Chains A and B, each alone.
Chain A
Amino acid sequence: MKILDHAERADIFNEDEKRVDWHDETLWWIRQKRDKSAHQIPEWENLRNAASAIKSNTLSNLHDYLLEFEKNALKNGIIIHWAVDAKEHNEIVHRLLKEKGINKMVKSKSMLTEECHLNEYLEQNGIEVIDSDLGERIVQLAKEPPSHIVLPCIHKKKEEIGELFHEHLGTPKGNADPQTLTEAARVHLRDTFLTRRAALTGVNFAVAETGEIVICTNEGNADMGAHLADIHIACMGIEKIIPKREHLSVFLRLLARSATGQPITTYSSHFAKPRDGKELHIILVDNGRTRQLGREEFRNSLKCIRCGACMNTCPVYRRSGGHSYHNAISGPIGAILAPNLDMKQYADLPFASTLCGSCSNVCPVKIDIHDQLYKWRQVLVKEGYATTAKEIAMKTMATTLSSPTLYKIAGKAARTTLKYAPLIINNKFNAWYLQREMPKVPKSSFGEWYKINRKNNE
C-alpha cells in the first residue's frame, strides 16, 4: 500500500475549508496566548539563550550526564533500564508487566511511547493500555494517533468528541458540552486509576545532579497514576537530561509559556525515589538519538523540550493538520526529527514548509528548525530520495540559469508562449494555474529594456 505523503494528506484535510479555518484559528489563538505570555517577561530572549546554552552543554557531555543520572537514581532506589531502540523499550515494558502478572496499565504524558508504538505492541501481547490524559484518551477512543504533541486531539471538534463519548462512555447523544464530557471522562478514568497496578508516564526533565525526574502536567494524571500503582514506569529519551536542578528555573519558565501561554503547568512533579514497597523504573531510550547527535548539522534538534510552539505558529501545520506529517511528532520539529528515524519514509516532511522561519523564532531552546529543514532537503536529495522527474527538472533549470544566453532564450520563449499560446501553460497540469492566474506578460524583459534605454552603460 502506498503511504500518502504530506501534500496528499493536506489535500484531504483541505477538502473542508471551513474546518481548516477553524483549525488555523484555534492554533493561532494559542500562538497569541504564547506571545502575550512571553512578552510579559522582559528577560524572555535571555531565558531562551540560557536554555539553548544549557542544552548545548548537555548534548556535548551527554555521556557523562547520563551516567551521573544513573548513579544518583540508583542511589535513590530507582531501577534503571537502557533501551537501544523502540523494540527494546517495548520489550522492557512488557517484561516488567509480565513479571508482576499485570495485564492492564494506565498511561499518561508520553510522546516517546507514541514514537515507539508501545500501545499497539502491548495490545498484541494481551495488555490493555488506557491513556489517562483527556486528549490522549479521546484519540485513543477514536483509534487515531495524536495530531499534536501537547494538544493531541486539537483536530477534533467538541461535537465529534461528544459522539465518541456517547458511543464509548454512554454520554447522552448530541451532548457536546465540554463540562459534561470532561466529567464523564473523569468518572470513567477514576475507576481506571483505582484498579490499575501499573502506571507508565513520560518524563519532561531528568536531573543528573539529583537522579530525579520531573513531569509537567495540567491534569495531574501522571501523579494520580504513579501514586496509586504498585509499579511506576517512566520512559524518557536520553536527551531529556539536564545537568542541575537549578536549571529547572529556566526550563519551567519557558515550557508552559511556549506551549499554551500559561505561566507554568498546574503540576510540576518531582519523582526522586519509589514510595515504600513500590517500584520506580526509568527506561532511558536512544532510538536514533545518538545517531542524530552524531549528525553535526542536526544535533540541535535534540534540544527540543516538546512544547509544541513550532506547531502552533507554523502556517503550514495549521492548514494541513498534524496527521499530514504521518509521524508521532508532527509539525516543523517532527519534520527535522523524523528523517533521522527513516529517511525514505519521511523524505517528504522537510519539504512541507515554506522556510518562513517562525518556528525557529518561537522555539524556547532556539533550535534552528527552518535551517535544518533546508539542510535535510540537501541530504535527502543527495541520498537519492528525490523523484526522477524533479531531478531532471532541476538539472535543466541549473543548466539554463548557468548560461546567460540560454536564460535569455528560455525567458523569451516562456513569455512568448504565455502571450500567444497561453493554453500550453494555463492548463490543469500546471499546479500554479489551478487556483492562481499567471502573471501578465510584459512588452519586454528588463534586460531588453535596459539595452535600449541605458545604451551608455552597456
Chain B
Amino acid sequence: MKVALFIPCYVDQFYPQVAIATLELLENLGIDVTYPSSQTCCGQPMANSGFEHLTGGCNSLFVKNFSGFDYIVAPSGSCVLHIREHLHDENEPELAKHIAATTYELTSFLTDILKVDVLKSSFPHKVGMHQSCHGQRGLKLSQMTELNAPDFSKPGQLLNLVKDIELVELDRKDECCGFGGTFCVAEETVSVKMGKDRVKDHAKHHVEYITGVDLSCLMHMEGILNRQQSPIKIIHIAEILNGVKA
C-alpha cells in the first residue's frame, strides 16, 4: 500500500512534531509513506472566504503532488473535508475525483482502512477530546449530538486503545470552538468567546490535555490557554497514538 502524507500548511510551518508523529505512526504500522515535498495548501482559506475561484492553482498543484498513490492521509479533518468536497481540476477531472475520494483523515484511515485494533502507546493523563466540526459533522468521524442515531467515535475508538489514558466527558460534547478559518480574525470577539467557553468546559473537568484531530481548533484554543497562562496543554491525537512521551 502506497500512502502519501498530506501535511496542512500551518502544521508544516508551526507544528512539525505532529507531522512527524503522523509519519512515524504510519511507518510503524508497516505502511510505505511518502511526503511529496512540493505540497503547499489545500486552498480552504481562500474557498471559505468566498474566493473558491482563486483555488485553481492549489487544486492543480494538489493533483500533481498526490497522484499515483493508493491513499492520501492527513492529520486534519478540515483540510481533508475541503479536498473531498471541493477538489477539482479542469484538465484532469477524473484524476481529481479519484484523489478526492482516496484522501483520508488520519483516524478514519486507521479505523476504516487499516482496521487498527492494537496500539503500543501509553498516555497516563486526563484528556479532553475536542470534536472538530469539519471532522465530526463533515467527515462523520463521530456521532453528532443533534441526531437521533447510534453513538460512535473513530478517534474515541483509537484513544481507547491507548494505555492509562483517562478521557473525560464534557458538558457540551460537540460544540464548535470558534476557530472557523478567517472567522477567527474577522469575527474576533465571538471567535475568542467561543474558544474561551470551550476551554472552560475542559478546565471544569480538570483535563491536563485537550486533544483532537484538527490542529486549527487546537491552535486557537492553545492561543487562548497560553494567554490565560493555563496549565492545560494541547496535543494532536497523532502524538498520543504514536506514543510521544508527554
CB within 8 Å of B: which residues of A? 6-7, 10-11, 14, 17, 20, 24, 28, 35, 38-39, 41-42, 44-45, 313, 315-316, 319-320, 351-358, 360-362, 374, 377-378, 380-382, 386, 390-391, 394-395, 397-404, 407, 411, 414-415, 431-432, 434-442, 444-451, 454, 457-458
Q: Which of B11, B17, B57, B183 contacts A402 (CB 8 A)?
A: B57
Is A445 within 8 A of B13, CB to CB? yes
Beta-carbon contact of B192 and A315 below 8 Å: no
Q: Which residues of A contact B133 (CB under 8 A)?
A: 354-358
Secondary structure of the B contact surface, majority rule: helix
- 1/0 per residue, CB under 8 A from A, across B173-195: the answer is 01110111101111111111111
A439 and B45 contacting across the interface, CB-CB below 8 Å: no
B178/A315 in contact, CB under 8 A: yes
Given the known A-B contacts A14-B193, A378-B53, A437-B223, are A444 and B187 also in contact in the complex, defined by CB atoms under 8 Å?
no
Given B15, B23, B48, B55, which contacts A355 in the complex, CB threshold below 8 Å? B48
Which 7 A/B pairs are nearest by Cβ-Cβ distance? A402-B57, A436-B223, A354-B180, A377-B50, A381-B50, A361-B146, A357-B137
Assess whether A397 is in contact with B13, with CB atoms less than 8 Å apart: no
* Contact call A319/B190, Cβ cutoff below 8 A: yes
CB-based nearest A residue for B219: A439
Report the nearest B residue to A25, measured CB to CB.
Answer: B197
Query: What distance in Å separates the Cβ of B213 from its nearest Cβ neighbour in chain A?
Result: 15
Q: Is the pair A439, B48 in contact by a Cβ cutoff of 8 Å?
A: no
A319 vs B172: C-alpha distance when bound (angstroms)? 15
- The verdict on A438 contacting B223 (CB below 8 Å), with A10-B187, A316-B187, A397-B45 known, is yes
* Complex CA–CA separation, A399 to B58 (angstroms): 9
Known: A353-B183, A432-B184, A439-B222. A35 touches B49 (CB 8 A): no
Q: Is B37 an interface residue (CB 8 A)?
A: yes
The answer, yes or no, to whether B161 is at the interface (CB within 8 Å) is no
Contact of A10 among B49, B172, B174, B189 (CB under 8 A): B189
- B44, chain A: closest CB distance, angstroms: 10
Q: Can you name 7 A-B residue pairings with CB atoms under 8 Å?
A: A35-B145, A313-B146, A358-B146, A361-B137, A398-B46, A401-B57, A402-B61
Contact of A316 among B15, B43, B190 (CB under 8 A): B190
Q: A-facing mask of B186-220, CB < 8 A → 1, else 0? A: 11111111110100000000000000000000011
Does residue B40 face the partner (Cβ distance < 8 Å to A)? yes
Complex Cα spacing A411 to B224, Å: 23
Point out the residue from A10, A35, A436, A438 that lies within 8 Å of B224, measured CB to CB. Answer: A436
Contacts of B45 in A (CB 8 A): 397, 401
Q: CB distance B145 to A415 under 8 Å? A: no
Q: How many residues of B are in contact with the other chain, CB < 8 A?
A: 75
CB distance from B111 to the nearest CB of A (A): 21
Bound CA–CA A411/B12 (angstroms): 9
- Given the known interface contacts A398-B55, A439-B14, the answer about A352 and B187 at a Cβ–Cβ threshold of 8 Å is yes
Q: With an 8 A cutoff between CB atoms, is B7 at the interface?
A: yes
Give chain B residues whose Cβ lies under 8 Å from the Cβ of A45.
Answer: 147-149
Against A, the Cβ 8 Å flags (1 = close, 0 = not) of B1-39 are: 000000101011111110110010000000000110111
**8 Å CB contact of B50 from A10, A386, A434, A442:** A386
Measuring CB to CB, which residues of chain B are less than 8 angstroms from any residue of chain A? 7, 9, 11-17, 19-20, 23, 34-35, 37-41, 43, 45-58, 60-61, 133-134, 137-138, 144-149, 172, 174-176, 178-181, 183-195, 197, 219-220, 222-224, 226-227
Closest to A47 in B: B148
Q: Is B58's CB under 8 angstroms from A24's CB? A: no
Asked if B145 and A353 sit within 8 Å, CB to CB, the answer is no
Complex Cα spacing A45 to B146, Å: 10
Name the CB-closest residue of B to A394.
B51
Given A6-B187, A404-B40, A457-B35, A446–B48 Cβ distance below 8 Å? no
For A41, give its contact among B148, B178, B224, B226 (CB under 8 Å). B148
Asked whether, in the complex, the Cβ of B58 is within 8 Å of the Cβ of A401, the reply is yes
Give the complex CA separation of A380 and B186 in angstroms: 16
- Chain A neighbourhood of B197, CB < 8 A: 24, 319
With a 10 A CB-CB cut-off, give which of A14, A402, A432 has the most chain B CB atoms. A402
A411 to B41, CA, bound (A): 12
B10 → chain A closest CB, angstroms: 8
Contact A442 B14 (CB under 8 A): yes
Residue of B nearest to A8 (CB): B189
**What is the minimal beta-carbon distance from A353 to any residue of chain B, in angstroms?**
7
Nearest chain B residue, comparing its CB with the CB of A442 = B16
Distance in Å from the Cβ of A209 to the closest Cβ of chain B? Answer: 30
Minimal Cβ-Cβ distance residue in B for A439: B14
